[in-house]
């Protein structure tokens, strides 16, 4: 059996290596237009930071052997054609037309099974100047090497990044913290990580970026990238010019499906990805596809999505190899679990955020917010922020997000939620999750439990949530109809009770009796540090017959984490 694989980075090499283990007799040919193959592309930002000392570290095995064409041939028994472009697929005769880029020689290679692991290509914004010297994407090792060379040679003084997605946030850290450069970040949407996390958490990230010296511009409407003598000099938005001698386009990727379309293989008109079944077969049963170029099922919405992640590409490659070898394996889909480092923060999530939930038709979607120590408070290294997106009508869990210190705590919670999310859990299922506890590692009730408890309280109307934006607006407008009940200790509350006449302090320890004297014709907004004491006092007020009682989610710690000054 001859298996031809087009693309030799993540999915393609995984198919080749597993298939050779399952079917040592198979003839496997890997084809790639590049000379760099089988590398960890997700590590490229960390090559720029210096955490990865040499570009070849992204190409080595765990036992420090370079994964080049010689390695695949001599160690794995797999033929590799580097610097070779696959131009056409003749499905009728089961032949791939290739071009050797070194000499332009054309050849045809027959196959019994074909695998398309052709990855993705950068989305280039429709603006002038993207071809100027000094404008880069970060889509392969060549890009990373060129950017690093400019940094090392001192040619970069004013870097600018367009796009505040995963790559954008990772690279501003490289430019700013690692190289000590003043970096500007331009984002089209009104928040960082749009469609991944919701504003209450994105504002925490934005404030963290500002504290780290990043000049972050949201709602940026870019008109052009400007140059002089062929070299970039800056970016012009609708209202300002931002000087720059290096511009990184971190504006996303799209499936690389040209060869599939030419061959008449079904490509989704909605997502642009190659359509595959659960066995990763395309519309041609002898042609499999995986990685960034395919459309897969989102396990929350049931719809097709493109999810360019190395973790998914490797899993899909294993499925493809099993099926080609005569076994039976399936890839059910994704919940979009992600995690990234941003300076001193870990940011993670899975499923849908609130905006995406409503766009997908979950009209009664809402979220619960929780701020909690990752570990027992006497072992604490700081608080993390958690958001659980759920359907208020059905209790269905739709998504989960967390922002916290750069520890494994964020990863642990994302792993737990992403593992249960494909089974369409409800809030009650999260409440009953069994999660390990020991003070150095966790709290007795995990943050997942307590975030689900808050969601449960919202669902059953045990308190009335109010957004901090609304509270801040009422304070700004000097709303006479509100009283803010601060149940923290007097020292914590003093500054604000002195500043605002309608901000009063009733410490939690005495609140049960003192709240009885409050006026019942006012809107009472109860706050504490993170919300737990405020919720309990709100319950007491409810028992005393008070009707207009509200609790801002996240306590006063949340707006302070945005950089709000009261």
Whole-angstrom distance, CA of residue 8 vs CA of residue 31: 7
Fold of 2-119+254-324: FAD/NAD(P)-binding domain (3.50.50)
Q: Encoding tokens for residue 312?
A: 């998914």
pLDDT for res 404? 95
pLDDT for res 379? 82
DSSP string computed for 221-252: -EEEEEEETTEEEEEEESS-EEE-SEEEE---
Q: Which residues are catalytic?
A: 42
pLDDT for res 377? 83
Whole-angstrom distance, CA of residue 278 vs CA of residue 109: 27
Cα-to-chain-centroid distance, residue 61 = 26
Same topology between domain 2-119+254-324 and domain 135-251:
yes
Phi, psi of 162 (to 5 degrees): -105, 115
Integer CA distances (angstroms), 482 to 14, 476, 549, in order: 61, 12, 10
Whole-angstrom distance, CA of residue 26 vs CA of residue 3: 7
The single-letter DSSP state of residue 128 is B
The answer to whether 48 and 145 have CB atoms below 8 angstroms apart is no
**Contacts of 229-234 spanning 24+ positions with Cβ under 8 A:** 230/132, 230/133, 231/132, 231/133, 231/134, 232/129, 232/132, 232/133, 232/134, 232/135, 234/158, 234/160
Q: Which residues of the chain have pLDDT under 50?
A: none
Whole-angstrom distance, CA of residue 453 vs CA of residue 458: 9
Helix axes of 199-211 and 166-173: crossing angle, nearest 10 degrees: 20
Domain parsing of the chain, residue ranges: 2-119+254-324, 135-251, 338-459, 464-561
The single-letter DSSP state of residue 174 is I
Tally of CB atoms within 10 A around 510: 10
* Residue pLDDT, tens place only, 351-410: 999 999 999 999 999 999 999 999 888 887 788 999 999 999 999 999 999 999 999 999
* Beta-carbon contacts of residue 275 (< 8 Å; ≥ 6 apart): 266, 267, 268, 282, 283, 294, 295, 304
Percent of the chain's residues with pLDDT above 90: 98
Fold of 135-251: FAD/NAD(P)-binding domain (3.50.50)
Work out whether strand 383-391 and strand 365-373 pair parallel, antiparallel, or are unpaired.
Answer: antiparallel
The answer to whether 403 and 201 have CB atoms below 8 angstroms apart is yes
* Beta-carbon contacts of residue 40 (< 8 Å; ≥ 6 apart): 58, 59, 310
Q: What is the pTM of this model?
A: 0.94
Give 3-state DSSP helix, strand, coil % of the chain, rounded to 5: 30, 25, 40
> Which neighbouring-strand residues pair with 88?
97
Integer CA distances (angstroms), 533 to 37, 133, 353, 484, 495, in order: 56, 57, 27, 14, 20
Q: Encoding tokens for residue 141?
A: 């090792």
Lateral strand order in the sheet of 274-275: 274-275, 294-297, 304-305
* Residue pLDDT, tens place only, 514-539: 999 999 999 999 999 999 999 999 99
Question: How many residues in total does the chain contain?
Answer: 566
* Beta-carbon contacts of residue 501 (< 8 Å; ≥ 6 apart): none
Fold of 338-459: FAD/NAD(P)-binding domain (3.50.50)
pLDDT for res 381? 75
Mark 147-186 as b/e (b = at least 16 C-beta within 10 Å). Answer: bbebbeeeebebbbbbbbbbbbbbbbbbbbbebebebbbb
Q: Encoding tokens for residue 333?
A: 């889909």
pLDDT for res 382? 80
The CATH number for 464-561, chosen from 3.40.250.10, 3.30.70.240, 2.40.320.10, 1.10.1040.10, is: 3.40.250.10
Whole-angstrom distance, CA of residue 202 vs CA of residue 214: 15
């Amino acid at each position: 059996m001859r298996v031809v694989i087009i693309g030799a980075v993540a999915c393609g090499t995984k198919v080749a290596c597993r298939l050779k283990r399952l079917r040592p007799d198979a003839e496997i040919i890997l084809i790639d237009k590049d000379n760099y193959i089988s590398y960890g592309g997700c590590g490229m930002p960390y090559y720029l930071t210096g955490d990865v000392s040499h570009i070849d570290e992204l190409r080595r095995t765990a036992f420090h052997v370079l994964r080049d064409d010689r390695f695949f041939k001599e160690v794995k028994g797999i033929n590799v054609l580097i610097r070779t472009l696959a131009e056409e697929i003749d499905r009728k005769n089961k032949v791939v037309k290739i071009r050797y880029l070194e000499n332009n020689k054309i050849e045809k290679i027959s196959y019994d099974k074909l695998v398309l692991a052709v990855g993705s290509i950068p989305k280039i914004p429709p603006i002038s100047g993207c071809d100027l010297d000094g404008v880069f994407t970060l889509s392969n090792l060549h890009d990373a090497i060129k950017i690093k060379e400019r940094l090392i040679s001192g040619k970069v003084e004013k870097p600018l990044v367009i796009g505040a997605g995963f790559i954008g946030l990772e690279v501003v850290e490289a430019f700013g913290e690692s190289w000590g450069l003043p970096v500007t970040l331009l984002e089209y949407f009104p928040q960082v990580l749009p469609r991944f996390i919701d504003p209450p958490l994105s504002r925490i990230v934005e404030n963290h970026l500002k504290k780290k010296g990043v000049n972050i511009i949201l709602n940026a409407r870019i008109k052009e990238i400007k140059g002089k003598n062929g070299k970039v000099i800056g970016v012009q938005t609708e209202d300002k010019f931002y000087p720059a001698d290096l511009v990184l386009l971190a504006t996303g990727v799209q499936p690389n499906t040209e060869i599939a379309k030419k061959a008449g293989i079904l490509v989704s008109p909605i997502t642009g990805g190659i359509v595959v079944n659960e066995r990763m077969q395309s519309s041609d049963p002898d042609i499999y596809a995986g990685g960034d170029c395919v459309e897969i099922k989102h396990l929350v919405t049931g719809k097709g999505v493109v999810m360019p992640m190395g973790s998914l590409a490797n899993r899909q490659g294993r499925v493809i190899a099993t099926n080609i070898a005569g076994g039976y394996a399936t890839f059910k889909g994704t919940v979009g679990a992600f995690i990234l480092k941003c300076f001193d923060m870990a940011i993670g999530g899975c499923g849908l955020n609130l905006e995406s939930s409503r766009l997908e038709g979950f009209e009664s979607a809402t979220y619960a917010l929780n701020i909690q120590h990752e570990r027992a408070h006497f072992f604490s290294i700081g608080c993390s922020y958690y958001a659980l997106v759920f359907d208020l009508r059905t209790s269905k869990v739709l998504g989960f997000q967390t922002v916290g210190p750069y520890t494994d705590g964020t990863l642990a919670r994302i792993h737990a939620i992403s593992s249960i999310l494909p089974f369409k859990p409800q809030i009650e299922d999260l409440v009953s999750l069994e999660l390990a506890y020991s003070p150095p590692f966790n709290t007795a009730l995990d943050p997942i439990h307590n975030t689900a408890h808050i969601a449960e309280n919202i669902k059953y109307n045990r308190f009335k949530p109010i957004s901090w934006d609304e509270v801040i607006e009422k304070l700004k407008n000097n709303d006479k109809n509100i009283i803010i009940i601060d149940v923290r200790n007097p020292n914590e509350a003093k500054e604000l009770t002195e500043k605002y006449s309608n901000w009063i302090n009733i410490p939690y320890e005495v609140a049960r009796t003192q709240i009885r004297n409050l006026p019942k014709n006012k809107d009472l907004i109860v706050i504490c540090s993170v919300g737990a004491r405020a919720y309990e006092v709100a319950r007491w007020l409810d028992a005393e017959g008070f009707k207009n009682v509200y609790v801002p989610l996240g306590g006063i710690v949340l707006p302070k984490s945005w950089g709000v000054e009261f």
